[in-house]
A and B are shown apart, each in its own frame.
Chain A
Amino acid sequence: MSMRQPQRPMRDWTRREFLRRGAGAGAALVLAMTLPALRGVSRAAARGSSQLNAWLMIGSDESITILVDRSEMGQGVYTALPMLLAEELEIDPARVQVIAAPVGDAYVNAMNGGQVTGTSNSVPDAWEKLRKAGAQARMMLISAAAQRWQVDPASCHASDGRVLGAAGRVASYGTLAAAAAKLSVPKEVTLKKASDFRLIGRPLARLDTAAKVDGSAEFGLDVKLPRMLYAAIALPPELGAKVSSVDSAAALALPGVRRILPGEEAVIVVAEHFWQAKKARDALRISWGAGPNAHLDNAAVWAQINEASAKPALSALTSPNVSATLKSGHAAAAFKDAKRTFSAVYELPLLAHATMEPMNCTADVRADACDVYVGTQVQQMAQAAAAEAAGLKPEQVNVHTMLLGGGFGRRLEVDFVPAAVSASKAVGAPVKLIWTREDDMTHDFYRPPAREAVSAALDEYGRLNAWTLHITSPSITSRFDPTNKDPFDSVIEYVQNFPYAVSNFDLGYRRQEIGIGVGYWRSVSHTPNCFAIESSIDEIAALARRDPLEYRLELLAGKPRHLQVLKLIRERCGWGHAPAGHHLGLAFMEGYSSHLAQVAEVSIEAGELKIHRITCVMDCGQTVNPRIVESQLESGIVYGLSAALWGEITIRGGRVQQRNFNDYRVLRLNELPVLDVHVIPSEEHPGGIGETAVPPVAPALCNAIFAATGKRLRSLPIAAHKLT
């Protein structure tokens, strides 16, 4: 088992952000302290539960409650993380009650430096931590039984929620928990070997499915509180514009309207019901001042980026994240001696996250406390934002993490939290503030546009001798955390571990902002960089008159995990044996410590692209629940297909032009190709899953289109191109 270097685009900002906003460690939950009055915790406490560690409560009624400190947004953490703990605790995970953890130091994601669900590392971060917590609790329960029976703990063992001793002695966890919770936590624990796993690696049923088929699952949108009012918000149509005046007369005359709250950047309407709030919002007459983006449109965005791309770049070879083997060599010299050179520019558009559940937040502000009910990927930041809006200290704010109706990085932002808090504070009642789909689509933090210029030099045999990439794009992290010191944070993903053998490598980045907020979009910079790498390798193989799969195999010599993935996909997709009229395109991807490949099988008739099949082979190390891994890979492919085929946010006069699913088209069931997903069994340290399958989709498709037509698409979406 090896601990490989994880990729950590969010490691530092969260910690800095957290400290900067004053929500320091003193505010946080310390192990074994009383948990705040979250509803699930209160219910467990009411059943006489004892808390054995930050994640585990066991009731005298034999109930087992696991607090999960990552947000469930579909990726399966409410199943996978309890499985880790249950493995060592020797319990059946099906009997576990899962609740969302509060804000707390114990719940910080060590790989992200904050309580953050992102970077596909929930399982990698929890892998040892939660198994250890399960093992410690098991040992404490065994010790409690041994004390009761006055025997040596070594003569006892745990099985299926009970401690068993010699002479047929049995004690259930529920009868031992109170005594066990008083014992000291053992420091040294021995974790099971992979060959002894009874849960990990098995396709167990998800723990959250039942509630998601009968309407009982509670998303942020579903929060119900006594006396709760509803709010809608008027956001600036032109991004960044400020309110100059508001005529509320017509809105105030509508039924149910309680308050109109004009702010600098938005106007909030509070009413008895959401429909009333929305109608009143629509009846407001707001005069918006001319903002900084009045003249911003797509042409201006790309003019800024293209102009900046000609200016000197920062060399990313200074970044410690760039693998050392890429730093030797002299790319410039290699181009002088090259027999053949290649250059191409790839362009990636702005994209919206478009989660199914629009942004929303429910807040209940009192004089000395505040409860916030929200689907968030960043509990500490939600707490800090709510505290600031409420005029309270962070420790006075309880964050109740609801189920997320999709996250994809959108809910790493807390821009929708303060308005709900301010509204609740102003009206003295709980308020649920809901963004409409149009609010959500037009006020996202968009995947930034990127211009990716690749150059390559080949020797006389067509072998790759130099490969360079020059990235021009806005910086997400610099926007997200103005104190950020790493100019390459999240910008050079995948390319920092450029997997193909090349003696001379160079990587440059020119930051160019475009005036509007950009954000972390599922797999972040893996998408543009994978498009540039995998499209260019395909183009270079064609230039060298080589098969693109064979060419990659040669360039990956000596890398067994990479080769295994490619050799397996060669078999599974029928490489070289596509049905008549069908064409295959390949893309590889390395990220989040996982390795995967995809092949798109397409045909094109009369300019119409038909996608028949996407084959995906993944090596993500040890899986916790392979059934969830497979569904996450399918998920990433579908998300990637929508983006590759149609995804594009455009701007005119500072306004986002796409408003709903009619003009931001996403894949539907009738458009789904066959998905053939294969996960390689492995005992390597677990890699990430949730974001990994998105990036290879677009290059695999464009490489297949090239195979079919000889036409090379260097920009997305595909729908913007004629394929005849």
Chain B
Amino acid sequence: MTRLSVNGQTQSVDAEPDTPLLWVLRDHLGLTGTKYGCGLGLCGACTVHVDGQPVRSCLLPLRALEGRSVTTVEGLSKDRSHAVQKAWIELDVPQCGYCQSGQIMSAVALLKGNPAPSDADIDAALAGNICRCGTYARIRKAVHRAAELLHEAKSA
């Protein structure tokens, strides 16, 4: 039994210790917003935060998660009110939408450490997230817009 915190709630998970966090979230905890794309950390669809850092959950085994704190896309807000979610809605970023949870989690992590990222910063932070629909141009705009929204919220 592994105890970890997921979106602020303590969870006890009874799964083999090598089970990747991705499948713990999806199949044991019912949090299916985090997606399986490649299983090798190549596509970023499974990006979540562990102790505030973006990680590829398809590579992280349960045994490494005892006592740690995980945030998934479901935990960003209760009502899509996170600045990144608002910017994503405003610019209608998603197409098929499958990769977007991972894109959003990478963007949230970027903005935490860098409240006013340049295009180059965005490129570097999101280069690990593949989108086959080609929403990249809107992702870039939406990250800038989210930065603005965060700035406005701080100034208000």
Task: Give chain A's interface residues, CB within 8 Å of chain B.
Answer: 72-76, 205-206, 208-219, 221-222, 224, 230, 255-256, 273-276, 354-358, 403-408, 434, 436-438, 627-628, 631-632, 634-639, 642, 660-662, 666-670, 672, 675
Contacts and interface: CB of A to CB of B under 8 A. Distances in A.
Contacts of B16: 255-256, 275-276
A436 B58 CA distance: 12
Contact of A669 (B35, B93, B122): B122
B19 A273 contact: yes
A437 B129 contact: no
Contacts of A215: 31-34, 72-74, 101
Interface in B99-156: 99-101, 104, 122-124, 126-140
Contact of A213 (B39, B104, B129, B131): B104
B98 A406 contact: yes
A210 to B, nearest CB: 6
B27 A668 contact: no
Given A214-B77, A221-B35, A635 B135 contact: yes
Contacts of B36: 221, 358, 434
A206 B92 contact: yes
Q: Which 4 pairs between the two chains have the least Cβ-Cβ distance?
A: A215-B33, A638-B134, A405-B98, A74-B95
B43 interface: yes
A221 B152 CA distance: 37
B68 interface: no
Nearest to B15: A273
B130 A668 contact: yes
Contacts of A256: 16
A495 B42 CA distance: 38
B96 A637 contact: no
Q: How large is the interface on B (under 10, 10 to 19, 20 to 34, 35 or more residues)?
A: 35 or more
Nearest to B104: A213
A74 B130 contact: no
17 contacts: A212-B97, A215-B31, A215-B73, A216-B74, A218-B32, A219-B35, A221-B35, A222-B26, A273-B19, A275-B20, A357-B35, A405-B99, A437-B39, A666-B132, A668-B130, A669-B126, A672-B140
Given A218-B32, A667-B134, A668-B130, 19 more contacts: A74-B94, A209-B88, A210-B89, A211-B97, A214-B76, A215-B101, A219-B35, A219-B98, A230-B27, A255-B16, A273-B27, A273-B28, A275-B27, A631-B92, A632-B95, A634-B137, A639-B132, A660-B39, A669-B127
A214 B73 contact: yes
A635 B23 contact: no
Interface in B1-58: 15-16, 19-20, 23, 26-28, 30-40, 42-43, 45
Contacts of A406: 96, 98, 132-133
